């Protein structure tokens, strides 16, 4: 038997597909595509949010409406406790340590392509489908993760930390699609959600006010004002609480005078100091990463790659030297401004994601 479009040696009607349905445009489009191709489709929707980070409108009810419209089986999964522990708590604790966290990466690893994938298997799914703009390829050497075709929407960066065995179960039908094409598909299916706005980066933070949320969850000394100091130790002002700053930030520092444009260089959590300096001091070439997750076939090989150090920044060329204990030294071939400890470092070879890790504090 020839392989179906999902790469299995079964006909579509014999293949059971679980779609992770968020109630948004992208996952709904994925469900529509597979239903139209004749696969046996069911949907799982994760109930993740609770007070005090529950938004006024939760889109999970939209997922139930989409499933009903498509005529597919649909279930809710209560993962609120696990999401609070593995994602929200990680988010809060990272900021308290002076890090800039990557909650979407953690959610993909532990929740969406962790617990949800396990549940899908238990319910008989052969494949788990999501609305990610990324490309899963099956080769003779195993599964490969590549960038989505639409570079403006590519989400491969957020998947570098997923376990390889879970990637093997994943399929992303939107790999070749643009957002405009996806919306058109949903509109043609008669679903009103085609008009729905894109989801925000962090689902549990309303209007980007992460400091307000963290204060509700953990009102610690991290919110206390302290000194703003130059890299030479000179005090030049007062900050309003380290929670409000991240490495590379230049706006909102509240520093006047003729010092020139200053950037955040470091969050000194031990002494509650905000270290600032000029752009030249922000530049660096050596980056240390930890908790490396490797998606290649063989043991990681020291080589030249491109790396992405933040989701919205372009890849930059680098040489990566892999070390013991799942650590690596990344030597950037050009100076880079704004390397933020805690952010993900995704390692690419061409369009392929080879793996990645998390930027360690100096």
In whole angstroms, how far apart are CA 362 and each of 50, 98, 235, 287? 35, 11, 22, 9
Share of the chain residues as helix, strand and coil, in percent rounded to the nearest 5:
30, 30, 40
Q: Decide: 28 and 21 in contact? Cβ < 8 Å.
A: yes
d(C-alpha 230, C-alpha 253), whole Å: 13
Helix (H) or strand (E) holding 31: helix 25-36
Picking from 158, 125, 124, 162, the residue whose alpha carbon sits closest to that of residue 143 is 162
Annotated catalytic residue, options 18, 104, 203, 345: 203
Q: Decide: 148 and 155 in contact? Cβ < 8 Å.
A: yes
d(C-alpha 163, C-alpha 86), whole Å: 16
Question: Catalytic: 172?
Answer: no
What is the CA 123 to chain-centroid distance, rounded?
26
DSSP classification of residue 242: G
Q: Decide: 148 and 156 in contact? Cβ < 8 Å.
A: yes
d(C-alpha 316, C-alpha 348), whole Å: 10
Burial of 345: CB neighbours in 10 Å, binned 0-12, 13-18, 19+:
buried
Q: Decide: 15 and 1 in contact? Cβ < 8 Å.
A: no
Q: Decide: 131 and 174 in contact? Cβ < 8 Å.
A: yes
Annotated catalytic residue, options 107, 172, 345, 346: 107
Question: Catalytic: 337?
Answer: no
Strands of the 235-239 sheet, one edge to the other: 235-239, 226-230, 273-277, 263-268
Tokens (6 digits) for 46: 């994760």
d(C-alpha 201, C-alpha 100), whole Å: 14
Would you please indicate which residues are annotated as catalytic (active-site) residues?
107, 203
């Amino acid at each position: 038997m020839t392989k179906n479009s999902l790469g299995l040696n079964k006909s579509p009607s014999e293949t059971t597909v679980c779609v992770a349905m968020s109630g948004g445009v992208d996952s709904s489009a994925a469900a529509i595509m597979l239903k139209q191709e004749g696969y046996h489709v069911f949907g799982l929707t994760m109930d993740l949010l609770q007070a005090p980070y529950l938004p006024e409108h939760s889109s999970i009810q939209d997922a139930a409406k989409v499933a009903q419209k498509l005529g597919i089986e649909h279930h809710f999964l209560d993962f609120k406790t696990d999401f609070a522990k593995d994602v929200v708590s990680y988010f809060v604790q990272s900021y308290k340590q002076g890090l800039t966290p990557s909650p979407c990466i953690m959610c993909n690893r532990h929740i969406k392509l962790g617990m949800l994938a396990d549940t899908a298997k238990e319910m008989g799914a052969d494949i788990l489908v999501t609305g990610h703009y990324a490309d899963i390829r099956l080769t003779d050497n195993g599964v490969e993760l590549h960038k989505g075709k639409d570079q403006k929407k590519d989400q491969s960066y957020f998947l570098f930390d997923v376990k390889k065995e879970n990637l093997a179960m994943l399929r992303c039908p939107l790999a070749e699609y643009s957002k405009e094409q996806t919306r058109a598909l949903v509109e043609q299916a008669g679903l009103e959600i085609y008009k729905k706005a894109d989801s925000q980066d962090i689902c549990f933070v309303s209007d980007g006010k992460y400091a307000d949320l963290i204060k509700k969850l953990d009102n610690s000394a991290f919110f206390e004002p302290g000194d703003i100091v130059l890299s030479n130790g000179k005090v030049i002002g007062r900050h309003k609480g380290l929670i409000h700053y991240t490495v590379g930030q230049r706006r909102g520092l509240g520093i006047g005078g003729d010092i020139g444009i200053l950037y955040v260089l470091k969050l000194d959590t031990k002494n509650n100091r905000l270290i600032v300096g000029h752009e030249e001091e922000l530049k660096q070439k050596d980056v240390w990463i930890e908790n490396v997750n490797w998606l290649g076939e063989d043991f990681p090989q020291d080589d030249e790659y491109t790396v992405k150090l933040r989701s919205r920044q372009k890849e930059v060329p680098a040489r990566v030297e892999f070390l013991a204990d799942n650590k690596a030294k990344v030597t950037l071939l050009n100076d880079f401004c704004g390397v933020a400890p805690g952010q993900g470092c995704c390692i690419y070879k061409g369009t392929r994601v080879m793996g990645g890790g998390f930027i360690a504090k100096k």
